[in-house]
Chains A and B, each alone.
Chain A
Amino acid sequence: MSGWLIGIVGVVSLGVLIEVLLPEGENSKYIRGIFSIIVIFVIISPLPKLANGDYINGFTSQKQEISIDEEYYISVKSDIQAKVEDNLKQKLEKAGYNDLSFDIQFDEEYVFMINKIVVYDSDIDEQQWLKLKEFLSTVTGNAKVEKA
Chain B
Amino acid sequence: MKFKGKISIYIQYFCIALILCIALVTSVIRPDEICYADNVQDSQEILEDNIDQNLSGLDLESLQRIFESLDGDFKSLFGEDVVTTVKGIIQGTFRGDFSTFMEILLKGLGKCVLDVLPMILTIIAVAIIYSLLEGLTSSFAQKPTRKLIYFATYSAIIVLVMAQVGGIITLTTNTIGNIKLLMESIFPILLTLTTLLGGVNSSAFFSPLMATLTTFITTFISSVIIPFFIATIAFSIVGNMTSSVKLDKLTGFFKSTATYVLGGVFGIFIAFLTFQGLTGGVIDSISIKTAKFALQSYIPILGGYLSDGFDLMLASLVLIKNSLGIVSLLMILGVIALPTLKIIILSLALKLASGIIEPLCDSKFSKMLQSISSNLTLLIVSLLGVAFMFLLTVMLVIYTFNIGIA
Contacts and interface: CB of A to CB of B under 8 A. Distances in A.
A108 to B, nearest CB: 9
Contact of A110 (B212, B230, B291, B297): B291
Contacts of B188: 66-69
Contact of B210 (A66, A73, A112, A143): A66
B191 interface: yes
Nearest to A112: B294
Q: Is the interface of B mostly helix, strand, loop or mixed?
A: helix
Interface string A43-76: 1000000000000001100111111110011011
A128 interface: no
B57 A63 contact: no
Interface stretch (B166-174, B308-316, B339-347): B308-316
B295 A73 contact: no
**Which residue, B195, B247, B288, has most C-beta atoms of chain A within 10 A?**
B195
Interface residues of B, number: 61
B148 A20 contact: yes
Contacts of A65: 207, 211
Contact of A112 (B184, B227, B231, B314): B314
A66 B245 contact: no
A93 interface: no
A66 B191 contact: yes
Contacts, number: 152
Interface string A108-141: 0111111100000000000000000000001111
Interface in B53-93: 53-54, 57-59
B189 interface: yes
Contacts of A115: 292
B294 A113 contact: yes
B192 A73 contact: yes
B26 interface: no
Contacts of A67: 188, 191, 207
B59 A15 contact: no
A20 B191 CA distance: 64
B295 A15 contact: no
A83 to B, nearest CB: 4
A68 B191 contact: yes
Given A9-B238, A12-B239, A68-B188, 12 more contacts: A1-B231, A5-B231, A13-B241, A39-B245, A63-B216, A65-B211, A66-B207, A68-B203, A69-B189, A72-B192, A80-B313, A107-B291
Top 8 nearest A-B pairs (CB, nearest first) are A68-B192, A109-B200, A143-B292, A83-B309, A83-B310, A64-B215, A12-B238, A69-B192
